[in-house]
């Protein structure tokens, strides 16, 4: 009996080999992620070896879970057919093919995760679907980036190795298929035992499994925690969480409660509540009434790239010099981590709603903001960008919310379009000057908004121009080029008749992530430059109070506009002070005041409360200061949900 059971159990060694093969490939990719992001270990101050060992041990649990899901249907089907004596060669081939296809998808996700992990300091998630509306642009951007191409080659190489090994296991399995139907009584215990093990491995399920995801966050170090996660698990859970009924919208509290809290928080005036729960009259007393406004949204220009904020590589000599003669808001943070977050929050004064792409929702939100308010006050409005205006639904959203026209890739000579991000920054600025001259000739002030593109992958510095970067790194070279392009823009503008009657505003759409940040949401990804330059005023003024992108609209209105009703979540940071600011990094929501940093995770992990000014203190004070944490949580939840109820109402 024991010998028969052993023989029958031998048939299940082949699925085990397939399982271990998958685990081996997951482990290889985790090792690649480690060595590709070694700078992430800089923040780990003690017990590096033991923490890395635990990360790989926890990672094995996630890898096993994914492999159990990959193998569940093929294994269960094969086991039942084996019991019935129907597991023939062609059926077995189909089951191995299905397993291979599912794992090939896993390999694709793991390869795509590598550049995603380095750029965002987190495992890949479903936000990549936000490229849906401009797929051609997204694909071109990927394949023009050498890093993506390297990982594409890696994927193809690993794919070939995996298929070859899997095929070898299949052939061995075929050779060892029994010639006659197995004994039901001796095989059933093995089948049931294997199914029990499969069930244990699948414990946690794809979806909102708080207990399972919490296993990955066992240390205070973001890199170590992210290393332990399986990217396939992270991608699938974020996707299934997005499509689950009821999860389309934020719903921490009732909309009426959120509006009441936000109204009190933002000092909204009840007499204007019909316009917005947070609406209040703004008396501007403008210092520069009806001046033109040139607003430059700088792609990925993190504050830490500037010498002013500690960078020693001299990447932004022009911005650093400009900061010294401008109103410079040194503690400004981006509302989100994507360009669409930056445009939406900067121009229209609303927070980024975590994973939501609010420029691509139906019906099209009708927004108050810088473009719409200045247009009502007689301004002409134009938006310039380097690339395809359909990307991120910019064309539809911006033309539907206050912009008269948009100049993009379709308008430039084809010979000047040099990469997936369109024309170089300097060419866009140069191209715009005659058009702005035409607007000036209409004897009406204008708002000209620029969205730069060069400081975005694929990194490309034009040739045959009077500029040479000193950085050997392409990522740093394009920062230098973007800074040089801004210098050229100001040179071009200074020769225009409208220059002296204009204010120039510079702010980034978001920063870039760096593993040497101690907190899970890197400050470098959100801390951004924000400066306002007024020609003729050479003495700068540093403003250190907390600011966020939503503040740009009321701040600019306070300088150039007439009185207006502010229906947004921004304040004039020249005159007012925040009790807290709120920003999000996809699935993580952050609330910050002058001393505390509250961090909320939408996947159900326990929130964190940190004294971020204490030299990067990693102690979680949530249990020690529960009232402070709860107050910041309520404030953040109310602002986002109130904003959602205003611009994305429930369908009737």
Residue 4, pLDDT score = 43
Residue 209, pLDDT score = 47
Position 590 pLDDT exceeds 50: yes
Residue 3, pLDDT score = 43
CA 623, CA 609: separation in Å to the nearest integer? 9
Residue 121, pLDDT score = 76
Looking at the domain covering 578-652, what would its CATH class be? alpha beta
CA 483, CA 487: separation in Å to the nearest integer? 6
Q: Are 271 and 483 in contact (CB under 8 A)?
A: no
Residue 86, pLDDT score = 79
Using DSSP's 3-state secondary structure scheme, residue 370 falls into: helix
Q: How many CA atoms lie within 13 A of 98 on its CB side?
A: 17
Helices (H), 502-625: 552-560
Q: Among 124-128, 359-363, 386-390, which is the least confidently predicted range? A: 124-128
Give the phi and the psi of residue 548 in degrees, each rounded to 5. -140, 165
Angle of helix 13-36 relative to helix 89-120, nearest 10 degrees, comes to: 20
Q: What is the pLDDT of residues 228-273, one digit of tens each?
A: 999 999 888 888 877 776 667 889 999 999 999 999 999 999 999 9
> What is the band of 168 on the pLDDT scale with cuts at 50, 70, 90?
very high
pTM: 0.84
Position 586 pLDDT exceeds 60: yes
Residue 303, pLDDT score = 96
Q: What is the pLDDT of residues 183-193, one digit of tens each?
A: 655 666 666 76
> What is the band of 79 on the pLDDT scale with cuts at 50, 70, 90?
confident
Please report the beta strands in 228-366, taking only residues with DSSP state E, as ranges in sequence order: 280-282, 292-298, 327-329, 332-333
CA 139, CA 137: separation in Å to the nearest integer? 6
CATH 3.40.720.10 fits 283-536+557-577, yes or no: yes
Residue 137, pLDDT score = 54
- In degrees to the nearest 10, what's the CA dihedral of 228, 231, 235, 238? 10
Residue 194, pLDDT score = 66
Residue 292 forms beta bridges with which residues? 502
Type and span of the H or E element at 648: none
Q: Are 222 and 611 in contact (CB under 8 A)?
A: no
- CA angle (113 as vertex; 220, 32 as ends), nearest 5: 75
With pLDDT > 90 as the criterion, what percentage of the chain qualifies?
61
> What is the band of 652 on the pLDDT scale with cuts at 50, 70, 90?
very low
Position 117 pLDDT exceeds 80: yes
Q: Identify which of 537, 533, 446 has the alpha carbon closest to the alpha carbon of residue 497.
A: 446
Boundaries of CATH 3.40.720.10 in the chain?
283-536+557-577
Owner of token pair 């890696």:
154
* Section 220-228 average pLDDT: 84
CA 348, CA 550: separation in Å to the nearest integer? 7
Residue 7, pLDDT score = 42
Across all residues in the chain, what is the average pLDDT? 88
Pairing of strands 327-329, 541-543: parallel
Position 206 pLDDT exceeds 60: no
Boundaries of CATH 3.30.1120 in the chain?
578-652
> What is the band of 582 on the pLDDT scale with cuts at 50, 70, 90?
very high
Q: Are 591 and 633 in contact (CB under 8 A)?
A: yes
Q: What is the pLDDT of residues 370-402, one digit of tens each?
A: 999 999 999 999 999 999 898 888 999 999 999
Q: What is the pLDDT of residues 303-345, one digit of tens each?
A: 999 999 999 999 999 999 999 999 999 999 999 999 999 999 9
Residue 330: which residues within 8 A CB-CB, separation 6 or more? 308, 309, 542, 543, 544
CA 341 centroid distance within chain: 9
Residue 1, pLDDT score = 40
């Amino acid at each position: 009996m024991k010998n028969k059971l052993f023989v029958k159990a031998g048939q299940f060694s082949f699925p085990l080999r397939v399982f271990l093969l998958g685990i081996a490939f997951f482990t290889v990719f985790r090792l690649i992620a480690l060595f590709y992001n070694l700078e992430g270990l800089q923040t780990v101050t003690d017990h590096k070896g033991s923490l890395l060992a635990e990360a790989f041990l926890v990672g094995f649990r996630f890898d096993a879970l994914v492999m159990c899901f990959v193998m569940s249907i093929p294994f269960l089907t094969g086991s039942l057919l084996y019991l019935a004596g129907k597991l023939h060669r062609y059926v077995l081939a189909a089951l191995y093919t299905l397993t291979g296809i599912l794992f090939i998808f896993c390999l694709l996700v793991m390869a795509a995760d590598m550049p995603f992990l380095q750029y965002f300091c987190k495992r890949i998630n479903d936000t990549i679907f936000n490229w849906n509306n401009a797929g051609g642009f997204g694909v071109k951007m990927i394949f023009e980036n050498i890093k993506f191409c390297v990982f594409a080659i890696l994927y193809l190489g690993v794919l070939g190795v995996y298929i070859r090994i899997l095929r070898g296991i299949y052939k061995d399995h075929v050779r060892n298929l029994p010639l006659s139907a197995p004994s039901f009584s001796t095989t059933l215990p093995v089948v049931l035992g294997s199914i029990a093990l499969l069930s244990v491995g699948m414990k946690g399920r794809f979806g909102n499994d708080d207990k399972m995801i919490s296993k990955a966050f066992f240390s205070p170090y973001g890199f170590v925690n992210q290393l332990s996660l399986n990217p396939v698990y992270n991608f699938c859970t974020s996707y299934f969480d997005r499509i689950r009924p009821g999860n389309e919208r934020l719903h921490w509290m009732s909309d009426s409660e959120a509006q009441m809290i936000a109204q009190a928080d933002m000092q909204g005036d009840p007499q204007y509540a019909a316009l917005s729960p947070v609406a209040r009259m703004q008396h501007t007393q403008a210092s520069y009434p009806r001046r033109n406004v040139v607003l430059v949204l700088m792609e990925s220009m993190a504050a830490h790239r500037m010498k002013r904020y500690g960078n020693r590589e001299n990447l932004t000599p022009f911005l650093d010099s400009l900061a010294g003669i401008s109103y410079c808001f040194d503690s400004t943070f981006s509302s989100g981590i994507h360009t669409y977050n930056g445009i939406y929050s900067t121009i229209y004064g609303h927070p980024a709603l975590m994973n939501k792409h609010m420029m691509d929702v139906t019906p099209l939100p009708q927004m108050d903001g810088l473009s719409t308010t200045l247009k009502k006050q007689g301004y002409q409005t134009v938006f310039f960008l380097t690339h395809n205006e359909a990307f991120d639904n910019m064309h539809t959203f911006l033309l539907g919310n206050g912009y008269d026209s948009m100049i993009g890739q379709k308008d430039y000579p084809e010979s000047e379009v040099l990469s997936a991000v369109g024309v170089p920054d300097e060419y866009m600025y140069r191209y715009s000057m005659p058009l702005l001259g035409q607007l000036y000739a209409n004897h009406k002030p204008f708002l000209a908004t620029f969205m730069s593109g060069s400081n975005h992958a694929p990194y490309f510095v034009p040739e045959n121009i009077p500029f040479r970067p000193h950085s050997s790194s392409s990522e740093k070279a394009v920062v230098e080029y973007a800074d040089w392009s801004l210098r050229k823009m100001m040179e071009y503008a200074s020769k225009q008749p409208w220059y002296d009657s204009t204010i120039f505003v510079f702010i980034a759409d978001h920063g870039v992530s760096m593993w040497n940040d101690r907190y899970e949401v890197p400050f470098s990804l959100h801390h951004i430059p924000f400066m306002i330059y007024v020609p003729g005023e050479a003495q700068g003024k540093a403003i250190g109070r907390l600011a966020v992108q939503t503040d740009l609209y009321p701040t600019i209105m306070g300088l150039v506009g007439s009185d207006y009703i502010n229906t947004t979540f921004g304040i004039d940071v020249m005159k007012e002070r925040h009790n807290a600011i709120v920003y999000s990094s996809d699935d993580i929501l952050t609330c910050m005041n002058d001393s505390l940093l509250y961090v909320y995770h939408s996947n159900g992990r326990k929130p964190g409360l940190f004294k971020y000014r204490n030299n990067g203190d990693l102690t979680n004070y949530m249990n020690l200061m529960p009232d402070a944490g709860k107050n910041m949580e309520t404030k953040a939840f109310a602002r986002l949900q109130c904003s959602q109820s205003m611009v994305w109402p429930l369908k009737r």
